[in-house]
Amino acid sequence: MAQSTDRTPLLKVEHLSKEFPAESGVFGGRFAKRVVSAVNDVSFEIYPGETFGLVGESGCGKSTTGRTIMRLTNPTSGKVFFEGRDVAAMNKKELKAMRRNMQFIFQDPYASLNPRMTIGEIVSEPMTIHGVGTKEERMRRVRELLDVVGLNPEHINRYPHEFSGGQRQRIGIARAFALRPKLIICDEPVSALDVSIQAQVLNLLKDLQDQFGTAYLFIAHDLSVVQHISDRVAVMYLGKMVEVSDWRTLYTEPHHPYTQSLLSAVPVPDPDIQKTRKRIILAGDPPSPIDPPSGCRFHTRCPIAQEICSKEQPEWKEVADGHYCACHFAQKFPIKESHIDL
């Protein structure tokens, strides 16, 4: 990543893998032979103040990646360095100190707020846990935060159910920003919201980033949402990262056939152009991560797959400056129109 060589990464993920037991037995599945390989050998970096988008379809392991970085689940193998320290090797005390600088925004604004706590209690909880300030100082800060995220500070004593989905997501955002963390993992923060509210929340996240210089790991299944906010974008398929680049390159010159097919599915808000576009329709469903395909995991659905694809795992190579791709046939627009059977 040439534009970033002068900076040290805030978060560095190296060969991260996470497997879940696919069957439960007498011993809770700890000796199960079959495993779901949810995340497989994923590596990337996030620099201070940038937004790193992570996209992929449901079940491709993007949320698991986020949760493993936060150590809400423990990685099976691989390392996660936050400010140069390995998160996976931290003890409880170090983990708590780390979490002051790394926060999480959840997808479901209804499930992520405790229904029995007031907004004031919810937003001040991170400060309470980390012993920041006195009670009055914390409450003053909560009012500030509510104001910053566009909520009425007078509502501090209300309960979550009295707010709409968008407002509740703002509460979740206020909570995440309470300790001014350096990195926030946003796990599909807008996909549960109405489209008009999505834009408002995305703009709020952008404004807050400008104000506080926070880095985001932005997880989404919607390329247009990611495009709106990300500096760099990574695409995941079936637990593996297939392509990483700055968003402009990724959107204009995709090198991986999967990325290209995803992009072809994003609608264009001009009916005349939309009519002439050819969509790349992938055949079938994603294979089960219990028994992932050999070689390149995408070969079963890839329109340009060759024999080698089912035999050898494609190498993770730099195809352009800061642009990485894992495909045997990585090149600009690997899928030609002649490949598309319409």
Partner 1 sequence: MQEPSSTQRGGMAAKAETKAKVSGAKSRTLWGDAFKRLRKNKLAVIAVVWIIFVILVAVTADLWAQQWLGSPTASDTTQLATTSLLPPSPEHPFGTDLNGRDILVRVIYGARVSLTVGVVATSISTVIGLVMGALAAFYGGIWDTIIMRLADVFLAFPYVLFVVAMIAALGNGLMNVFIAIGILGWPSIARVFRSAILTVKENDYVDAARAMGASDFRIIVRHIFPNSVASIVVYATMNIGSAILTESSLSFLGLGVTPPTPTWGSMIQAGQSYLQTAPWMMIMPGLAILTTVLAFTLLGDGLRDALDVKMKDA
**72 or 273: whose CB is closer to partner 1?**
72
**Residues 129 to 188: which contact partner 1 by CB under 8 A?**
129-130, 159-162, 164-165, 172, 175
Can residue 9 be called a binding residue for partner 1 (CB under 8 A)? no
Residues 6+ apart with CB under 8 A from 54: 62, 65, 66, 217, 218, 219, 220, 226, 233, 234, 236
263, burial (CB in 10 Å: exposed 0-12, middle 13-18, buried 19+): middle
In whole angstroms, the minimum distance from the beta carbon of 162 to partner 1 comes to 7
Task: Identify whether the C-beta of residue 101 lies closer than 8 Å to the C-beta of residue 82.
Answer: yes
In whole angstroms, the minimum distance from the beta carbon of 265 to partner 1 comes to 4
H/E segment holding residue 80: strand 77-82
**86 or 162: whose CB is closer to partner 1?**
162
User: Can you say how many angstroms the Cα of residue 241 is from the centroid of all Cα atoms in its chain?
Assistant: 12
Instruction: Report the distance separating Cα 264 and Cα 72, nearest Å.
Output: 34
Q: How many residues bind partner 1 (CB under 8 A)?
A: 50
Residues 6+ apart with CB under 8 A from 191: 107, 220, 221, 222, 225
Among the listed residues 271, 236, 209, 210, the one whose alpha carbon sits nearest the alpha carbon of residue 58: 236
**Residues 52 to 111: which contact partner 1 by CB under 8 A?**
57, 67, 70, 72, 95-97, 99-100, 102-104, 106-108, 110-111
**137 or 321: whose CB is closer to partner 1?**
137
Which range, of 1-9, 10-18, 124-132, 204-212, touches partner 1 by CB under 8 A?
124-132
**Residues 203 to 222: which contact partner 1 by CB under 8 A?**
221-222
In whole angstroms, the minimum distance from the beta carbon of 285 to partner 1 comes to 14
Helices 195-212 & 165-177, crossing angle to 10 degrees? 20
What x-and-dash track marks residues 255-284 binding partner 1 by CB under 8 A?
-------x--xxx-----------------
In whole angstroms, the minimum distance from the beta carbon of 306 to partner 1 comes to 25
3-state helix, strand, coil in the chain (%, to 5): 35, 20, 45
Can residue 193 be called a binding residue for partner 1 (CB under 8 A)? yes
Which range, of 114-122, 139-147, 205-213, 322-330, touches partner 1 by CB under 8 A?
114-122
In whole angstroms, the minimum distance from the beta carbon of 276 to partner 1 comes to 18
Instruction: Report the distance separating Cα 31 and Cα 21, nearest Å.
Output: 8
Instruction: Report the distance separating Cα 220 and Cα 54, nearest Å.
Output: 6
Instruction: Report the distance separating Cα 96 and Cα 129, nearest Å.
Output: 9
CA angle, corner 119, sides to 117 and 124, nearest 5?
90
What x-and-dash track marks residues 221-260 binding partner 1 by CB under 8 A?
xxx-------------------------------------
In whole angstroms, the minimum distance from the beta carbon of 173 to partner 1 comes to 12
Token code pair at residue 33:
């032979």
Can residue 10 be called a binding residue for partner 1 (CB under 8 A)? no
Give the footprint of partner 1 on this chain (CB under 8 A).
Answer: 27-28, 30, 57, 67, 70, 72, 95-97, 99-100, 102-104, 106-108, 110-117, 125-126, 129-130, 159-162, 164-165, 172, 175, 192-196, 221-223, 262, 265-267
